[in-house]
Amino acid sequence: MSTEKNNAHGSMPEGQGVDLSKPPAVYTPDRFQGQRVLITGAAQGIGLAVAHRIAYENGSVFLVDRADLVYEVAGELEKAGDGTISSATADLEIWAGAEEMMDQAVSALGGIDVAINVVGGTIWAKPFEHYTPEEIEKEVNRSLYTTLWSVRAELPHLVDQGGGTIVNVSSVATRGTNRVPYAASKGGVNALTSALALEAAPKNVRVVATAPGGTLAPERAIKRGPGPEGEQAKQWYQEIVDQTVDSSLFKRYGTLDEQAAPIVFLASKEASYITGSVLPVAGGDQG
């Protein structure tokens, strides 16, 4: 996932959150009617915005997050549409967590038709030579293995039922400063998406991804990791903010709605002839 921006770091303004009591500003009623959708990272940020939209488009949604906040979100979304709303917590950095997630999704919804894998995000921001081996492993676990394990758990079910769709959330930060382990992880997500699309197409499974750029979001209720401490760390983070804005043709961060819209489109039947693609959503920054 992209660097979701809030005013705890750098100098960009805080973004608008998702008002679960109201419909999205733009949505397509009934687009997901009869569809069962699993969404990881659904308690906050981009994942929450995606869940909000699909619930209002009358999809049945299974929300997954590592934070208990996901249960509160699910309760709010029960009022949104005609679909079933269920939720679970899971540690997707390990295979057992992804396997348990799928078992619970099948139990709650009877199966899934679409899987949207959002979990990920930069933990630290600094030049590569300052990362410890332990920090590198944690970055890869957070932003590659969460998707790798999730897809491995989701795919057999989709194949067995005769088809479905997987949407991964990558990042344009594969070409980004001060986050090499995260960039390498998201490069892996891109490769996973394109390679698996080749294997899965004969089995009627589409595999696609978006690559968000910097995204404005409110302060996270559950933080990904420690914020920058000290002037040097703040400077390194500010370099990420500056590069993100400079790389965008619009010279700004995107909004949660601007990230959710293409994810939801790719997940829908409207995108039935698209597979293997990684769509940059970064104001013209191709990554």
3-state SS, residue 254: strand
Written as six digits, the tokens of 228 are 């920058």
Helices and strands, number each (H, E), in the chain? 8, 9
Written as six digits, the tokens of 237 are 């983070």
* Backbone torsions φ then ψ of 73, nearest 5 degrees: -60, -45
DSSP state of 228: P
Helix axes 95-109, 146-160, angle to 10 degrees: 40
Q: If phi over 0 gives left and psi between -120 and 50 gives alpha, with beta otherwise, what is residue 10? A: left
Among the listed residues 27, 131, 182, 237, the single catalytic one is: 182
3-state SS, residue 71: helix
In the annotation, is 71 catalytic? no
Written as six digits, the tokens of 169 are 């959330």
Residue partners of 144: CB distance under 8 A and separation at least 6: 120, 184, 185, 186, 188, 189
Q: Would you name the residues annotated as active-site residues? A: 182
